[in-house]
Amino acid sequence: MSLSRTIARPMLASVFFVGAANALKNSGALAAKAQPVTDRVGPIARKAVPVLPQDPEALVKVNAGVQIVAALGLATGRAPRLCSAVLAASLVPTTAAGHAFGAADDQATAQQQRLHFAKNLSILGGLVIAAGDTDGKPGVAWRTRHLAKDAKREARLVAARSPIG
């Protein structure tokens, strides 16, 4: 692993440690902000994961737990692509619930929420890059293209050698 990945992955993960710890400490207060999002996303998520709780406070805690585990994986380089994708998926509803700048009461609050929304958008971009980072090794798309090209070439060779052809 390169030095930049060794440094960048824990840096990217750090915001999730801080945010998840805050969510666990203040899950009650955050549940009220999260409820509009959990009411819409919860039923869809429960189709995929039937044991998912319905209570917004429990969902805030589950999300925080998922973020801590995925951040640990990203920071330590264990399944960094999967962990980045999980963090990106968890960041979307977290941002929608926590930084609804359109619902702010005053201009200063709206400006702060816009800033936090943009910060989260930047973090999401970093996670998308990290999720696609193959650490210098060929990715799945490259391997698939080359496997298809090799199979096509092999098929032509077999057909050329065939007594029927």
pLDDT of residue 113: 87
Distance of alpha carbon 106 from alpha carbon 90, whole angstroms: 28
pLDDT of residue 165: 55
Distance of alpha carbon 131 from alpha carbon 125, whole angstroms: 10
Tokens of 133: 């980072």
Give pLDDT tens digits for 39-86.
Answer: 988 898 889 999 999 999 999 999 999 999 999 999 999 999 999 999
* DSSP category for residue 135: T
H or E element, residue 125: helix 107-132
Question: Domain-by-domain residue ranges, the chain?
Answer: 3-133, 138-165
pLDDT of residue 128: 94
pLDDT of residue 50: 92
pTM of the model: 0.79
Q: Which residues of the chain have pLDDT under 70?
A: 1, 165
What is the overall mean pLDDT for the chain?
90
pLDDT of residue 71: 97
Quick one: how far is CA 5 from the chain centroid? 17
CB-based contacts of 164, cutoff 8 Å, min separation 6: none
pLDDT of residue 4: 80
User: Distances in Å between the alpha carbon of 125 and those of 16, 17, 53, 54, 99?
Assistant: 15, 18, 29, 30, 17
User: What is the chain's length?
Assistant: 165
User: Distances in Å between the alpha carbon of 160 and those of 37, 72, 147, 148, 149?
Assistant: 61, 54, 20, 18, 17
Q: Burial-class residue 72 by CB neighbours within 10 Å (0-12, 13-18, 19+).
A: middle
- Within a 13 Å sphere around the CA of 32, how many CA atoms are in the beta-carbon half? 3
